[in-house]
Amino acid sequence: MAVDDHSRMAFTAILPDEKALSSASFLAQAVDWFARFASAPAAS
């Protein structure tokens, strides 16, 4: 689950495992999903 602290919007996905490739795919999907709502992650 990825949650935007400001808007409280959340992205979830069911993945087959917790391996690096699945995790990287989840992150890419979450960033794309949040970007559709103009809620892109800020650089730290």
Quote the CA–CA distance of 7 and 3 in Å, as a whole number: 8
Contacting residues for 39 by C-beta, under 8 A, at least 6 apart: 4, 6, 7, 9
β-bridge partners, 35: none
Give the mean model confidence (pLDDT) for residues 11-25. 96
Query: Is the pLDDT at 26 greater than 90, yes or no?
Result: yes
Quote the CA–CA distance of 9 and 2 in Å, as a whole number: 8
Q: What pTM did the predictor assign?
A: 0.75
Where residue 42 falls among pLDDT bands split at 50, 70, 90? Answer: low
Query: Is the pLDDT at 39 greater than 60, yes or no?
Result: no
> Given this model, what pLDDT does residue 1 score?
92
